[in-house]
Structure 1
Amino acid sequence: MLLESYYTKSGDLVRISAQQASTFAKQQCHDFNPIHDPDNKRFCVPGDLLFSLALTVYGVSESMSFTFTNMVGDSMGLVFPEADGDKIVITNELGKSVLEIDKKGSTCHDPALIESLIKNYVLFSGQNFPTLLMPLMKKHNVMFNPARPLVMYNSMSFEFDSLVLNNPLHVELADSYFEVEPKRAHNFLHFNIFDGQKVIGRGVKKMIVAGLKPYEHDVISAFSDAYELRRSAF
């Protein structure tokens, strides 16, 4: 199983250690966001790992939306309830919502489809910085604070025309844009889901970029270069 090394289960609780979360981010997403480093004071479990676990538990529906409501810390117990309707709320062991899911249409539990969607989506999702985010920050003359980078997963949604695959699935960027506020920006990544050469689904990922400051090309480029060195070293 793709995810079995990235979590542990004890009774009804799922726990993800900081090391498991960091390894998933780096191995599966190629995501080196410092917020997923085990020693980061603001460490949180990657949203892509919570998304992946949810698909494993609940399957892939024709229409699904995922809203990340609270950060998940090191080894915090998570409750994945039985799905008895189109609304699912995943909570931590304190009863606080961490991920809310809305789904519609038929649901597929084919392990091949689920694993293919997880692998391809999280790899696409991990491209956000620097590949996709750098040009948008430059265009809007803003950037995050490299000393305290805070880029957070807010939500994602997708819709499928068909849940039957005839060819390998892959995910590609369709469009990306920024909505800038005084201290933060909303980063939207629209994507298409392909069955071979045919588009069979589409979706959007929304990120929040906090702590905005005026764009400084040399400063953010140095941060990007250091990020790429970490990725290459891994």
Structure 2
Amino acid sequence: MSATAAPTTEPLSRFHHQDGDWLWVGADQGSGFAKRVAGDHNPLHDADAPRFCVPGDLLFALVVHRYGLAQHFALSFRGMLRADTPLHFPPRPGREFAIADNDQREYVHITHDAPLPSDEAARLALIRAYVGCSGETFPDRLCPLLAEAGVMFNPQRPFVVYDSMALDLERAPGMDVGVTPLDASLTVNGKRADVQFNYRIEDGNGVIGHAVKQMVVSGLRDYDAEAMDAVIEAYQARRGS
């Protein structure tokens, strides 16, 4: 099923603070974006979570909103961003650049090659369609991959985060943009699994490009169907609350 723009029409300004070229995200803002826009109920994005981190989807949205679209656009996340950490968004970046805090610690490395002119409404439509796919990641797409590989995360301390995101676009989207999940794969490396989800991006005039989301699942252990069923049940309850 193709993911279209999420029902919320809340502006991105609701989900961050800004002072010139500095932006930061409060815990309530990051949690609200994860749940209301991305449909992502990962416990790491609960506002009161001890290990709270700003959603990668929100960082993606802020970068697209700030710098626009490009034929090749990729983000690599370099660590967990805590709430209220000011980040500097360079005003005139080159093809490759980083977003870092006041101590020059990088949190996002970006490739933005061959900019595509687009209006703000079209960019927001693509953002909402793209991040909306996160609501399908767990348990719908990830759990079958874990079961097939015979591994799972620690149900008491789940650690599932985005590692990178990339889009390849032939042209700017229209307002009716949608993102369709394609194939997915999981590779186990010791106590860590690298997961890749592929997508097709299209609008009313046809396919305009493809996208990839890569995740990291840490703290792997042998798959336990009963334990995973309990995790899924609790997650679905969070979804419906």
Which category describes the TM-score, using the shorter chain as reference length?
over 0.9
Provide the C-alpha distance between the structure 1 equivalents of 2:52 and 2:195, rounded to a whole number of angstroms: 21
One-letter amino acid of the counterpart of residue 197, structure 2:
L
One-letter amino acid of the counterpart of residue 76, structure 2:
T
The equivalent of 2:114 in structure 1 is 105
Provide the C-alpha distance between the structure 1 equivalents of 2:226 and 2:20, rounded to a whole number of angstroms: 50
Segments of structure 1 that go 5 or more residues without pairing to the other structure are: none
Q: TM-score, normalised by structure 1?
A: 0.95
1:11 positional shift: 4.1
Shift in alpha-carbon separation, 1:127–1:197, aligned structure 2, 3 A: farther
Runs of 4+ in 1 over 6 A off after TM superposition: none
| C-alpha RMSD of matched pairs (Å) | 1.4
Q: TM-score, normalised by structure 2?
A: 0.92
Shift in alpha-carbon separation, 1:179–1:192, aligned structure 2, 3 A: same
One-letter amino acid of the counterpart of residue 25, structure 1:
A
The equivalent of 2:3 in structure 1 is none
Provide the C-alpha distance between the structure 2 equivalents of 1:97 and 1:174, rounded to a whole number of angstroms: 31
Identify which of 211, 218, 240 aligns with 1:232. 240
The equivalent of 1:171 in structure 2 is 179
Which structure has more relative contact order (CA 8 Å, sep 6+)? It is 2
1:13 positional shift: 1.9
1:146 positional shift: 0.6
The equivalent of 1:190 in structure 2 is 198
Provide the C-alpha distance between the structure 2 equivalents of 1:213 and 1:205, rounded to a whole number of angstroms: 23
2:233 pairs with 1:222: no
Corresponding residue SS for 1:40 = coil
Segments of structure 2 that go 5 or more residues without pairing to the other structure are: 1-9
The equivalent of 2:62 in structure 1 is 53
1:152 positional shift: 1.3
One-letter amino acid of the counterpart of residue 26, structure 2:
S
2:159 pairs with 1:158: no
Query: Does the CA contact (< 8 Å) of 2:73 and 2:113 recur in 1?
Result: yes
The equivalent of 1:83 in structure 2 is 92
The equivalent of 1:210 in structure 2 is 218
Query: Does the CA contact (< 8 Å) of 1:58 and 1:83 recur in 2?
Result: no
One-letter amino acid of the counterpart of residue 10, structure 1:
D
Provide the C-alpha distance between the structure 1 equivalents of 2:20 and 2:93, rounded to a whole number of angstroms: 20
Moved more, 219-228 or 75-84: 75-84
Provide the C-alpha distance between the structure 2 equivalents of 1:203 and 1:87, rounded to a whole number of angstroms: 19
Query: Does the CA contact (< 8 Å) of 1:176 and 1:188 recur in 2?
Result: yes
Moved more, 211-220 or 93-102: 93-102
Shift in alpha-carbon separation, 1:141–1:28, aligned structure 2, 3 A: same
Shift in alpha-carbon separation, 1:124–1:164, aligned structure 2, 3 A: closer
Structure 1 vs Structure 2: percent identity of aligned residues? 36
Provide the C-alpha distance between the structure 2 equivalents of 1:204 and 1:147, rounded to a whole number of angstroms: 29
Number of equivalenced pairs: 232
Corresponding residue SS for 2:217 = strand
Moved more, 59-68 or 91-100: 91-100
Provide the C-alpha distance between the structure 1 equivalents of 2:144 and 2:93, rounded to a whole number of angstroms: 43
The equivalent of 2:18 in structure 1 is 9
Provide the C-alpha distance between the structure 2 equivalents of 1:206 and 1:164, rounded to a whole number of angstroms: 23
Provide the C-alpha distance between the structure 2 equivalents of 1:26 and 1:13, rounded to a whole number of angstroms: 24
Shift in alpha-carbon separation, 1:181–1:164, aligned structure 2, 3 A: closer
Provide the C-alpha distance between the structure 1 equivalents of 2:97 and 2:91, rounded to a whole number of angstroms: 8
